[in-house]
Structures are given as structure tokens and as C-alpha cells.
A and B are shown apart, each in its own frame.
Chain A
Amino acid sequence: MRPGRHLPVRAALLFGMIAVPAHAATIQITIDNLVFVPAEVSAKVGDTIEWINKDVFAHTATARNGDFDVTTPPKKTVSSILKKAGSIEYYCRFHPNMKAVLTIAP
């Protein structure tokens, strides 16, 4: 099975079914040993963040201004779509010593 062969079909299906914003990207933020990596990320409204929790502990990514609050169970990946612009400090509610910044352009 050559992967290239099905690509046009898949793309056609994808664009046919859902309206994908022109430049929406998927950005990964990893939680490893109680640290958000990278600690500073730039993104745009409409982008998807994949929160990859490598720890055996549950964490959250909680915006200080209340814009988002994502819970990441141990060893799980959770996706969330960025809805509002801003330079947002976020932290883990369970371990408030875990902090990072997400800068979201409109």
C-alpha cells in the first residue's frame, strides 16, 4: 500500500466534509515530569493544541483569565481548539508550580 495513492481522495473527503480554516495548525505541547514543553508557544485562533501528558499524574492546562481549562489524564493526549486571542498565562490547577504561556494571535 503506497501512502501517496490515497492522499488526493482523503484530501477531497476532508475538505468536502468539514470547513477547514485556511491556515489552522496543530501544535503539540508536552507535559513531561511536571513541565510544559515548550514553555512559550505562539499560535493563532482556530489552531488545535494537542496536550500530550507523558506523566503518570493527571494535570490541567488552566488559563489564568479563564479562557480555557483542559484536563489531561495520566499518559493521555487531549486536543483543544483555541477560540480567543491573547497572551495567556496558564498553569496546572493540581500543581500550581507548573506554569507556561500561550500567545494566541487573532
Chain B
Amino acid sequence: MFVRLSAAIAALSLLTGPALAQGAKPTDPQIAHIAYTAGVIDIAAAKQAIGKAGNKEVKAFAQDMVRDHEAVNKQALDLVKKLKVTPEDNDTSKALSKQATEKLAELAKLKGADYDKAYVANEVAYHKAVNGALETQLIPSASNAELKSLLQTGLKIFQGHQQHAEQVAAKLK
């Protein structure tokens, strides 16, 4: 179970693991890429859930995720354009995407209530991991004030998503 939950989490722990130990601090273009990728991953998971979820609340939650993460990512794109920053692909983004693809495939095999529970449990774990990375690594490492501020807004939004997901998960039990 823990192994299954940890799909994208291991990738995020790259940020707090060896990379940090070596003192490697992500640059703003890398941070922008990681944050954007994290959003894209959650949107893809939510789109799968909109198609597959049986529970009405789970489906509504997934719709909330698409709406909010698209709004955050639109702001991120507007900001990088304004700052003339080109988001830079990096090992963390790559690991995140790879593991998210695996997680999607794994969830695709589940059905009904099993799927609903697994999706929501992963949403709790995923938002927790993203929030941890934002708090301990991405926000402190961001040097541009506007990027930092957008990440802080993102953190508040995603903390809200985590609580929302926890509430939905509690009702599924």
C-alpha cells in the first residue's frame, strides 16, 4: 500500500534528499518547471477520475482539481512570459512525470469504489508531498519575488486541496 501511494512522492523527495544534501538549489527556471509539472500531473489524474469515478463527491473533487490547477498553471505561464524566463526541464520534473505516468496506469486498472478510494488516497498523499516540497525547498529557493509569491499562493491552494481530499477520503470509509 505504501509503495503504491508513493508514486510521485519519491520524485519529490529528490528535492529534500540527495539533491539537498549536496547543496544543489533549484534555479527559478527549474522551480517554475517543477511547479508547472506538478500541476499538469494532478490535472491528468483528475481527468482520469472525471471519467472513471463512481462517487459523485469524488467526481466533483476531480473537477475542482482541474479548475484550480489550470488556473494556477495559467498564472505560472503568464508570469514566466512576463519575466522572460524559460522553464527548464530537470531531473525532478522528469522523475515526477515518469512516476505519475506509472500511477495513472496503475489507477486505470481499478474500478468502482476501489478506484475512488485509491484516487483520493493518492490525492491526499500527492498534495502532502507537493506541499512539503513547496514549503521546504521550492519557496525558500525561489529568488524572484513574484515567483515566490505565486508559489505561496499555490501552497495555500494545495493545502486546501489536501484538506478537501482528506474530508472526501474520510467519507469513503
Contact = CB atoms under 8 A, between A and B. Distances in A.
Interface string B49-74: 00000000000000010011001001
A95 B160 contact: yes
Interface in A36-76: 56-58, 74
Interface of B: 64, 67-68, 71, 74-75, 153, 156-157, 159-161, 163-164, 167
Contacts of B163: 95-97
A38 B153 CA distance: 19
A94 B64 contact: yes
Contacts of B71: 56-57, 74
A96 to B, nearest CB: 4
B156 A34 contact: yes
A34 B153 contact: yes
A97 B159 contact: yes
Given A56-B71, A56-B75, A57-B68, A94 B164 contact: yes
A3 to B, nearest CB: 39
A97 B64 contact: no
A69 to B, nearest CB: 14
Contacts of A56: 71, 74-75
A100 to B, nearest CB: 14
Contact of A97 (B68, B75, B156): B156
A33 B167 CA distance: 22
A71 to B, nearest CB: 12
B153 A97 contact: no
A95 B164 contact: yes
Contacts of B156: 33-34, 95, 97
A88 interface: no
Contacts of A34: 153, 156-157, 160
A-B pairs with lowest CB-CB distance, top 7? A95-B160, A96-B163, A34-B156, A97-B160, A56-B71, A97-B159, A94-B64
A30 B64 CA distance: 21
Contacts of A92: 160
A96 B158 CA distance: 11
B157 A57 contact: yes
A97 to B, nearest CB: 5
A95 B156 CA distance: 8
